[in-house]
């Protein structure tokens, strides 16, 4: 009787020997191909179960088989960012979009060049059929390496206005412009911006929308009214403190994320400013957090559920037709009025 060697991974040959069949027969059973007698198929399946054999996904890929898995890759370098709602909401929306498929979602963290190289080799080995990328910064070449390797890839957002890889994004410029326009129409004239990290195109776009709204209203655009954050609540606190030191007359704040807006609210409360009476505040994202701030946060809703569904749809299409042209999808945002502005 064939037994697995202690401490080793069972092989196709060991399964074949235990089942009393040839290696090719085991391969056909593993790949669920026709032409195998039921009794032989049962014998092979019993041998697989007894040995704990796991098929080699890379070999199956080379044979034109699917891994039935896609990777959601987060390239954020700062571990603190993973506590922010954006990441959990994105994982949930992508997972929900895959619920009715047979595709497994693998969550992967890639932060260094070495990790990028290892992931590209992992993907090229046939262990995933496609890749969803989020939090990609301007200088990151991972999307290009995956494209060069022929691996279907879809980005959440984009690295620049010249992005070629397939992406799904929200109308960040238009959403920010609408938010600041709302503040201006409400009579606010000393409006600060708490920007996201400006090496990310999403943050650049939201800042551009802020500046466009000021220009449309004939208002001055001065750099001292803009403070850069990193999408965290702590950075929103730091930025709001800096704004108050520079411009104590501030009467409105546009924050490029709900979490930074929450930090700004905390500082305004501590300084004795009433929101929205003294200072109006608008965020961006419309996470659940926005319903629970004091006061409830007026914000720009980006449709994360639709973004997740669209990313998955485009990726599955590219997996079926690798030669399909890259697609660029920008989804509408909507200003959600609550109590803070």
What pLDDT shows up at residue 1?
Answer: 43
Structural domains counted in the chain: 3
pLDDT bracket for residue 37 (50, 70, 90): confident
Checking 206-211 for CB contacts under 8 A at 24+ apart, the result is 206/172, 206/173, 206/175, 206/176, 206/256, 206/284, 207/176, 207/256, 208/173, 208/176, 209/172, 209/173, 209/174, 209/175, 209/176, 209/177, 209/178, 209/179, 209/180, 210/176, 210/177, 210/179, 210/180, 210/254
In a domain, 61, yes or no: no
pLDDT bracket for residue 224 (50, 70, 90): very high
Same domain? 262 vs 232: yes
CATH label of the domain that carries residue 51: 1.10.260.40
Question: Is the pLDDT reported for residue 10 higher than 90?
Answer: no
Q: 131 by DSSP, 3-state: which?
A: strand
Of 315 and 8, the structure prediction assigns the larger pLDDT to: 315
Mean pLDDT of 88-110: 88
Same domain? 143 vs 211: no
Mean pLDDT of 91-104: 88
In a domain, 250, yes or no: yes
Same domain? 176 vs 296: yes
Question: Is the pLDDT reported for residue 174 higher than 70?
Answer: yes
State how far the Cα of 241 lies from the Cα of 247, in Å rounded to an integer. 10
CATH label of the domain that carries residue 165: 3.40.50.2300
Same domain? 47 vs 79: no
pLDDT bracket for residue 68 (50, 70, 90): confident
What pLDDT shows up at residue 136?
Answer: 85
What pLDDT shows up at residue 79?
Answer: 57
Q: Could you read off the pLDDT of 267-291 as tens digits, one per residue?
A: 999 999 999 999 999 999 999 899 9
Query: What is the domain extent for residue 290?
Result: 172-301
Same domain? 37 vs 100: no
Same domain? 326 vs 281: no
Above pLDDT 70, what percent of the chain?
91
What pLDDT shows up at residue 5?
Answer: 42
In a domain, 98, yes or no: yes
In a domain, 202, yes or no: yes
Mean pLDDT of 244-266: 97
What pLDDT shows up at residue 56?
Answer: 56
């Amino acid at each position: 009787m064939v037994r697995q060697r202690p401490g080793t991974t069972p092989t196709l040959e060991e399964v074949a020997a235990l089942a009393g069949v040839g290696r090719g027969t085991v391969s056909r059973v593993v790949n669920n191909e026709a032409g195998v007698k039921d009794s032989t198929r049962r014998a092979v399946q019993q041998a697989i179960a007894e040995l704990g054999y796991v098929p080699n996904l890379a070999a199956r890929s080379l044979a034109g088989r699917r891994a039935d898995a896609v990777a959601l890759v987060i390239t954020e370098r700062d571990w603190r960012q993973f506590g922010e709602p954006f990441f959990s909401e994105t994982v949930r929306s992508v997972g929900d979009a895959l619920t009715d498929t047979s595709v497994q979602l693998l969550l992967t963290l890639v932060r260094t060049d070495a990790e990028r190289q290892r992931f590209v080799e992992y993907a090229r080995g046939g262990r995933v059929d496609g890749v969803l990328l989020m939090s990609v910064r301007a200088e990151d070449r991972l999307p290009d390496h995956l494209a060069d390797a022929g691996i279907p890839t879809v980005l959440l957002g984009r690295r620049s206005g010249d992005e070629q890889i397939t992406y799904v994004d929200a109308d960040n410029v238009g959403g920010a412009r609408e938010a600041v326009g709302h503040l201006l129409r409400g009579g606010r004239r000393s409006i600060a911006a708490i920007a996201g990290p400006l090496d990310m195109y999403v943050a650049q776009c939201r800042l551009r929308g802020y500046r466009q709204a000021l220009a449309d209203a004939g208002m001055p655009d001065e750099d001292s009214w803009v403070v850069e954050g990193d999408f965290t609540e702590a950075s929103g606190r730091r930025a709001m403190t800096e704004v108050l030191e520079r411009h104590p007359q501030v009467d409105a704040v546009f924050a490029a994320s709900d979490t930074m807006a929450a930090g700004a609210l905390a500082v305004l409360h501590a300084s004795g400013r009433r929101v929205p009476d003294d200072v109006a505040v608008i965020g961006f994202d419309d996470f659940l957090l926005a319903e629970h701030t004091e006061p409830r946060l007026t914000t720009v809703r980006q449709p994360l559920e639709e973004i997740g569904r669209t990313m998955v749809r485009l990726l599955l299409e590219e997996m079926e037709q690798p030669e399909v042209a890259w697609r660029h999808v920008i989804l509408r945002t909507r200003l959600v009025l609550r109590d803070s502005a």
